Structure 1
Amino acid sequence: MDHSENHIDESLILAYLKGTPLPEDELKDVERWLENPNNQQEAQKIYQAWELSLLSRNRKVDVDAAFQRIQPKIDSSAPKGKVVNIKRTWWYVAASVIIIVTAAVFYLKKPQNKENILQLKQLTAKTVVKEFMLEDRTSVSLKKNASLTYDSTSFSQSKERLVNLKGEAFFEVAHNKDRPFSVLTSDAKITVLGTKFLVKTFPDQPTKVLVVEGKVAVKYNKSKQEIILQAQEEIMSQNDNQPISKSSANVNQLYWKTGIMQFKNDSLSSVFETLSKEFSHKIVVENEAVNHCKITATFKKQSLETIIKVIESTHNLSSHASGDSIIIKGNGCK
């Protein structure tokens, strides 16, 4: 018998697709037909088309309807006068493929297991500044109430070193031209190769970046605008009506990190604003003329109380605490 020319009824194909038991004589006919390599190739084509038909549908598949959809492909690819069938083995393979695909989808959708959770690192600074060294030798200083989260596995192995920041942090990034270092915030992405920079990110406020050394690229999610910051530059305050811009950096923002605060002929208005931000105390001036006074001074790891006393002594002022505020009194300057 020339098995390649053997006619096999279409109902047998549907029976095999459904896994329906067949009479012994029909089963033997199909098996003999499949002994021919050409017939096996034809069976494989049918299986592949049928498999795609099943996997492309989300609901329970009607096998009869699926077969009707692929029948034109069979008719066009098979030699004239030949109807092909699929050996029971193909049915088992098809079933196993569907199970594997389903299992893969389930694995991707299920929550992370314990092993995956252990790969996620979170560095926090609750009440004081904390210093951390990452796997790539990048140094990170977290201001109090700040946190840094990253996947240690992908951080060490992927093409991009990626971390997520909440709060304020200073980075000294280990240079690696082949693996950029990126900081993600709620509204921006900051990317560098190796540099020193400050990032501030708080709820309902645009991310602020200040560069001490090197160069960084800051890209905001909403505007899609990218801005390049060089050393001693920072992002200016933004609002919805103005594009992102940059200005000369006020390095006194790094007092919590460097312990150095420097003023060069700065107005007390500017000085008090800086002190209020860095020490989280509101400073109120009773006489507006006080704001016009200027000061040149360098403070190294001094408390707010000591700095205020120096300012008082310089301009013959006085102060007292009122709740969380410091009240400044004096004649001021013209």
Structure 2
Amino acid sequence: MSTTNNHINWELIARYMSGEAEADERQQVETLANADPMVAQLITDTRLGWDIAGDALNTADIQTDAALQKVMAQISLPATEQRTNEADLLMRRLRLHQRVVAALAATLALLIGWGSMHMWLAQPQPVQYLQTMAVNAPVNDLQLLDGSSVSLNNGSTLTYPETFDGNTRSVKLTGEAYFKVAPDKAKPFIIDAGQINVTVLGTSFNVMAYPDDHQMTVVVDEGLVEVNANHERVRLPKGYTAILNTQTGQLEKTLNPDINYLAWKTGVLTFEETPLHEVFATLSRTYRVQVNAINDEINNLQFTATFRQASPDKVVQVICKTFGFNYAINDGEYTITSATNH
């Protein structure tokens, strides 16, 4: 059986959807739906809206007759048989049962809701950031979701997103950290360390960027990194360091002369005929304490020793015992004096 739009009995379908149709009328609608895909789709879509609308829509005050009169008053149709048939079809459609109209309205609301949900999900969501600070620990190790690992020196802070969803993997560092970056050529790893920025694809390196220090340094352990500061840019291969003078803004690239640059992480300090002023500078940098001598005679002496997991107290004590010095601690600052000055 084949039907056209003009031969659909809309009132019958309305009674069918509202449950008011007789048994023979239900059979007629079901036969019509089997024969006409348009009718079947109409029933399916309307039933979905009906289920969502629920009993709350039973009391909806939808004045179909008043709506019909308002529409017809605004329509001027030529007195032809074709136009008469079209008007009759319009009247029958507008006189759909109240619950069918309500169900169709619910279906429309459902589609609008789904569309709004889809648009909301498609919009970029605010990035959620995490922050880790190393407190009362020589080293704080953490693993990022991209597979990169970071070791934070005591008192240092790393801020990073929960996931790296964009075109870069960007983090922010205050203090000192050792990075081992997982390779990803399509998504460079970028470190914002205040006055310097470091960009890598996959490598291992150390960044020291304490805001109050006169120098910030980047030392490459493996791979290649790019350091940017004050519109200057340098590329560092393995074994090289970049030093930024935070007072002048000068960025310098050089071979790394400091064999103890990772002592804060490894716990190993090595000195080989090293002038004591360099030893004191290394202790200050490694332990974030001040170590000073009162005169150049002490500073120019050379010292050889290796320390493993030693505290700053232990290192200073060994130095003083080796040369017969004395030392005093005031507000965390070590002052070393010769025995004759004590």
TM-score range, shorter chain: 0.5 to 0.7
Contact 1:318–1:329 (Cα < 8 Å) also in 2: yes
The correspondence of residues 311-322 of structure 1 with structure 2, limited to 5 A, is 311-322=319-330
Contact 1:293–1:315 (Cα < 8 Å) also in 2: no
Matched, 1:225 2:232: yes
Specify the alignment match of 1:215 in structure 2: 224
Residue 320 of structure 1: CA displacement? Answer: 2.8
Matched, 1:326 2:339: no
Residue 183 of structure 1: CA displacement? Answer: 1.1
SS of aligned partner of 1:236? strand
Label 1:217 to 1:27 Cα distance change in 2 as closer, same or farther (>3 A).
farther
- Deviation string 1:34-92 (CA, Å, 9 cap, x unpaired) is xxxxxxxxxxxxxxxxxxxxxxxxxxxxxxxxxxxxxxxxxxxxxxxxxxxxxxxxxxx
User: Higher mean Cα deviation, 162-171 or 275-284?
Assistant: 275-284
SS of aligned partner of 2:265? helix
Aligned-residue identity in percent: 30
Contact 1:287–1:330 (Cα < 8 Å) also in 2: no
Instruction: State the TM-score, normalizing by the size of structure 2.
Output: 0.58
Residue 225 of structure 1: CA displacement? Answer: 1.3
Contact 1:183–1:189 (Cα < 8 Å) also in 2: yes
RMSD value, Cα: 3.1
Counterpart of 2:220 in structure 1: which amino acid? V
Give the distance between the partners of 2:141 and 2:288, measured in 1 at CA. 21
Give the distance between the partners of 2:247 and 2:337, measured in 1 at CA. 37
Structure 2: runs of 5 or more not aligned: 1-70, 78-111
Specify the alignment match of 1:190 in structure 2: 198
Specify the alignment match of 1:133 in structure 2: 143
Give the distance between the partners of 2:211 and 2:311, measured in 1 at CA. 28
Flag as ranges the 4+ runs of structure 1 deviating above 6 A.
Answer: 23-29
Contact 2:272–2:303 (Cα < 8 Å) also in 1: yes
Specify the alignment match of 2:157 in structure 1: 147
Instruction: State the TM-score, normalizing by the size of structure 1.
Output: 0.59
Counterpart of 2:133 in structure 1: which amino acid? T
- Deviation string 1:129-175 (CA, Å, 9 cap, x unpaired) is 2110111221101122222222233x1x4332221222221101122
Structure 1: runs of 5 or more not aligned: 1-22, 30-95
Matched, 1:121 2:130: yes
Label 1:251 to 1:152 Cα distance change in 2 as closer, same or farther (>3 A).
farther
- Deviation string 1:288-313 (CA, Å, 9 cap, x unpaired) is 21111001222111111221122223
Label 1:237 to 1:293 Cα distance change in 2 as closer, same or farther (>3 A).
farther
Give the distance between the partners of 1:331 and 1:27, measured in 2 at CA. 113
Task: Count matched residues.
Answer: 227
Label 1:187 to 1:276 Cα distance change in 2 as closer, same or farther (>3 A).
closer
Structure with the greater alpha carbon radius of gyration:
2
Label 1:135 to 1:264 Cα distance change in 2 as closer, same or farther (>3 A).
same
> Which of residues 236, 243, 252 is equivalent to 2:243?
236
